[in-house]
Amino acid sequence: MEIKDLTRAEEQIMQVLWQLEKGFVKDVLDVLPEPKPAYNTVSTIIRILETKGFVDHNAFGKSHEYYPVVSKEEYKNFAADKLLTGYFDNSVNRILSFFVNKEKINLKEADEIMKLIEKLKDK
């Protein structure tokens, strides 16, 4: 299955479903921060996620319990690859430099990353 981009709203709902592992629309709504969207809005977004292949459901009469089909790890890999190739010419060096310059990575973290890279080279 090819993973597709998610809108911010879709990604927010997926974050909740990954956290819950399964749930009804009401369960998702309970976890969302204030101001909470309308029940119908959450229901519509979940149905869109189902159409995109991210979510499936078990039917209990008229209500549906939804669960993720795409794991958070799978989507994280997709998003990281998209970021790396789309904005940093597939260069890990460029993306690390960007985060260091934006002060999102401190020197200690950068040092740990370098040690990890060295370990990987040794393998």
| Residue 47 identity (one-letter amino acid) | R
Best CA proximity match to 45, nearest among 61, 59, 66: 66
Instruction: Give the start-to-end residue ranges of the domains of the chain.
Output: 8-68, 72-122
Interval 18-34: pLDDT, tens: 999 999 999 999 999 99
- Are 4 and 53 a contacting pair, CB within 8 Å? yes
> Is it true that domain 8-68 has CATH number 3.30.830.10?
no
Within a 10 A sphere around the Cβ of 110, how many other Cβ atoms?
14
| Residue 35 identity (one-letter amino acid) | P
pTM above 0.75, yes or no: yes
Which DSSP category does 21 fall into?
A: S
Interval 56-113: pLDDT, tens: 999 999 999 999 999 999 999 899 888 888 888 888 788 888 887 877 787 788 788 8
- Are 51 and 69 a contacting pair, CB within 8 Å? no
Q: Where are the alpha helices (DSSP H) in 1-123?
A: 8-20, 25-31, 39-51, 72-87, 92-101, 107-122
